[in-house]
Amino acid sequence: LYLFDRPTEPIFIGKGDDNVSFDVPTEYLIDRYKPLASDIQTRFPGGKTVPITKLNNIPDLSIPLGLSRDAPFSLFNPSHSKMAAKLIDILMNTKSYDELLSLSVYCRDRINPYMFTYALSVVIIHRPDTRNLRLPSHSEMFPSLYMDSSVFSRAREESAVVQAGSRTPIEIPHDYSANNLDAEHRISYFREDIGINLHHWHWHLVYPFDGPLNIVNKDRRGELFFYMHQQIIARYNMERLSNNMNRVVRLTNWNEPIAEGYFPKLDNILANRVWPPRPVNAVLTNISREVEQITFDIEDLVRWRDRIFNAIHSGFIINTAGQQVRLTENEGINILGNLIEASILSQNPNLYGSLHNNGHNAIAYIHDPDNRFLENYGVMGDSATAMRDPIFYRWHAYIDDIFQEFKSTIPSYSIQNLGFDSVNVQSVEVTATGLPRNEFATFWQQSDTDLSRGLDFLPRGSIFARFTHLQHAPFSYKIVVENNGNQRVGTVRIFLAPKFDERGLPFLFREQRKLFVELDKFSTSLKRGRNEIVRRSTDSSVTIPHEVTYRNQGSNRPAANTEAAATFNFCGCGWPQNMLIAKGSVDGFQCQLFVMVSNGENDQVPNAQGDAQVCDDASSYCGVLNSRYPDARSMGYPFDRTPRDGVVTLQQFLTPNMVTQDVRIRFTNRTVAPLQNTTASRPAAGATSG
Ligand code: CUO
């Protein structure tokens, strides 16, 4: 894991605060450092040394070496993702842990650091012999992708001048990327939330669209691509409505100027550039970037879109062999997810292209479509940064609408599909200490994140950035269920949606169903008679714990406390706990909480428990690593389809095993100090300090 520390520093310099260095075979050093070979140990003394076995044969790395070390690396770029896929393949194929370590050390100073980190992360979470390692937080490895660039010069000054242990956290202003003259700025706290962006990076890390087939071809990945992004849009819309903004408008007209601009204020440390902004009213044009080998026309997007709609309305796609593949009720969404994204599982990339990925590219290169200004892609070109930009949501609302179009062609759920014999859900109630019943409380909170892992060529020792994010008071659900049958297993599904639309009118089910955000899903045993189920918000199947998102995640460093260590999530994919509930409003934003208990027997998935139980903390949006998706129902059930005939309101949709409760989200404009321990600085070690 030390391989992730200070990604651009040469490997033989001690890594980590405990100054671990690698005993790199001389042959592994890059030419420029070979002359230093004899004196490396004395130049960088102290700390531990990790022995590295020298491999007799280094596999052919020419493909991943095709990208220079200081070039920007984008997974949305097909040639880059091919290079990364090759590197993943090579590292996956090493025969032992020792061989993997040795080859990784060889690669580290040669391969583009961003590609290397990505590929090694994929490998670590997928190899049986490394699966249990906790990946360091991506925001610690590459802090410049996640926060205001002004923090770094201040961090440099602080770490050069002040001894580790006495350093003051560098505060990131709450409003740094724009002000309220930009209407979209009201919701920047959501778009620029570190935890949300980390989740998105991790999701795409766990579900790459290219790479070795056994890594890409995960259970229901196309469907999860649909569902996870659908939920992002639902959450974003809830957030917008609670800020008195209209729901996001789909990016349907690709010739019209794009009203939303975005100026990210991020550094790109690898390319030594700032991230390019997009001014208001930029217009999409054909992309012809020979360097990156990305060439396509807006007309291509139009053709792919039309063919996809054609397939949806015909009920089948045409695969590369020219055969019809039916878009069935259960499989259709998975096929379309892979085809629209497009992943390498797309059944006909020639015909259906790569609509979603090239939409990202068209927007990411809008400022320099033919590379005449030698500019890099904008934030839409990287899954770690894409969610910062308002256009991400317009694009994904558009993509989601295509999936919804498909969902409207399949049969609605009948009462039988929804019901659970003799099980009645009688009530649900939300309680939190010191709050009125059925009220959520939101406010601002500060948290610290350690930058030292990602700040190359600086004195050792922690240096924290302190930022402000949305938070809510932890709460519990109390659900009362009457079971008039024998003992059985039920799946509890909890969702939340806004109650009123932009005009203040109650939502009709047809629209509201797309706004339900999943809060939790768990299975429970129902005894005969009355059952009282209590569930804590922190146990949500959607989120990962706060300390996983915001604290040091490297296993080579001690966790801040043992409880945090015990609840540590190994993979980092998962919605951040602090963003479980939308901001709401000072008056108390009105929502409807929905609880359904479905028949666990029908929901069960054989072999859903993986061989190693890692990465199962946030299974609703992330699945379970090395295992099948743990719910047999269509993702988003019971809201993923248009309602049966005659259902106009949520009330009419309900069967006896469902209940709704009016709730409010009350926001208070106060800021809470960081949780204890987050600033517990670790002392610097080793002679490279100072
Ligand atoms: Cu996650 Cu478009 O798929 O960013």
List beta partners, residue 533. Answer: 479
Does residue 328 have a pLDDT over 50? yes
Predicted pLDDT at 545: 85
CA distance 193 to 579: 9
Per-residue pLDDT of 305-327, as tens digits, reads: 999 999 999 999 999 999 999 99
Rg of the chain's alpha carbons, rounded to an integer? 25
Instruction: Give the pLDDT mean for 581-600.
Output: 98
184, 292, 341, 518: which is the annotated catalytic residue? 341
Q: Report the DSSP pairing between strands 517-526 and 287-289.
A: unpaired
Tokens for 449, please give them: 């994140």
Rounded percentage of the chain residues whose pLDDT exceeds 70: 91
Predicted pLDDT at 27: 87
Atom index in ligand 1 nearest the CA of residue 341 equals 3
Please say whether the beta carbons of 495 and 517 come within 8 A.
yes
Calculate how far, in angstroms, residue 342's C-alpha sits from the geometric centre of ligand 1. Answer: 11
CA distance 566 to 555: 12
Q: If pLDDT is split at 50, 70 and 90, which confidence band does 11 have?
A: confident
Does residue 273 have a pLDDT over 90? no
Query: Which has more pLDDT, 266 or 640?
Result: 640
Atom index in ligand 1 nearest the CA of residue 395 equals 2
Predicted pLDDT at 556: 35
Average pLDDT of the residues of the chain: 89
Mutation probe of ligand 1 site: the residue of 76, 248, 383, 385 with most atoms within 8 A of C-beta? 383
Q: Is 643 left (phi over 0), alpha (psi -120 to 50) or beta?
A: beta
Q: How far is CA 295 from CA 303, 342, 357, 373, in A?
A: 15, 16, 13, 17
Predicted pLDDT at 642: 97
Instruction: Give the pLDDT mean for 23-33.
Output: 87
Predicted pLDDT at 177: 86
64-73, 492-501, 608-617, 667-676, range with greatest mean pLDDT: 492-501
Q: Where are the alpha helices (DSSP H) in 365-453?
A: 390-407, 415-418
Does residue 558 have a pLDDT over 50? no
CA distance 674 to 671: 9
Predicted pLDDT at 270: 64
Please say whether the beta carbons of 683 and 461 come within 8 A.
yes
Q: Where are the alpha helices (DSSP H) in 315-407?
A: 332-341, 349-352, 355-364, 390-407
29-38, 375-384, 567-576, range with greatest mean pLDDT: 375-384
Calculate how far, in angstroms, residue 391's C-alpha sits from the geometric centre of ligand 1. Answer: 12
Does residue 139 have a pLDDT over 50? yes
Atom index in ligand 1 nearest the CA of residue 228 equals 1
Mutation probe of ligand 1 site: the residue of 205, 224, 228, 229 with most atoms within 8 A of C-beta? 229
Q: If pLDDT is split at 50, 70 and 90, which confidence band does 271 have?
A: low
Predicted pLDDT at 242: 97
Please say whether the beta carbons of 604 and 628 come within 8 A.
no
Predicted pLDDT at 42: 60
Does residue 554 have a pLDDT over 90? no
Predicted pLDDT at 669: 96
Calculate how far, in angstroms, residue 506's C-alpha sits from the geometric centre of ligand 1. Answer: 31
Query: Which has more pLDDT, 541 or 16?
Result: 541
Q: Let me know if 341 is a catalytic residue.
A: yes
Does residue 98 have a pLDDT over 60? yes
Q: If pLDDT is split at 50, 70 and 90, which confidence band does 19 have?
A: confident
Calculate how far, in angstroms, residue 646's C-alpha sits from the geometric centre of ligand 1. Answer: 35
CA distance 33 to 434: 62
Does residue 667 have a pLDDT over 80? yes
Does residue 682 have a pLDDT over 60? no
Per-residue pLDDT of 409-466, as tens digits, reads: 999 999 999 999 999 999 999 999 999 999 999 999 999 888 888 887 777 788 899 9
Does residue 521 have a pLDDT over 90? yes
Does residue 67 have a pLDDT over 50? yes
Instruction: Give the pLDDT mean for 186-191.
Output: 96
Does residue 557 have a pLDDT over 60? no
Q: Is 504 left (phi over 0), alpha (psi -120 to 50) or beta?
A: left
Residues touching ligand 1 (Cβ under 6 Å) are: 200, 204, 229, 356, 360, 383, 386, 396
Q: Report the DSSP pairing between strands 273-274 and 267-268.
A: antiparallel
Query: Which has more pLDDT, 677 or 361?
Result: 361
Calculate how far, in angstroms, residue 234's C-alpha sits from the geometric centre of ligand 1. Answer: 15
Instruction: Give the pLDDT mean for 571-585.
Output: 93
Rounded percentage of the chain residues whose pLDDT exceeds 90: 69
Per-residue pLDDT of 625-648, as tens digits, reads: 778 999 999 999 999 999 999 999
CA distance 49 to 72: 32
Contacts of 505 (CB under 8 A, 6+ apart): none
Report the number of secondary-structure helices (H) and strands (E) in the chain: 22, 20
Predicted pLDDT at 610: 55
Does residue 206 have a pLDDT over 60? yes
Mutation probe of ligand 1 site: the residue of 224, 379, 396, 575 with most atoms within 8 A of C-beta? 396
The residue type found at 87 is: L
- Ligand 1 atom 4, closest CA: 383
Predicted pLDDT at 679: 39
Query: Which has more pLDDT, 39 or 635?
Result: 635
Does residue 385 have a pLDDT over 90? yes
Instruction: Give the pLDDT mean for 47-75.
Output: 91
Per-residue pLDDT of 358-372, as tens digits, reads: 999 999 999 999 999
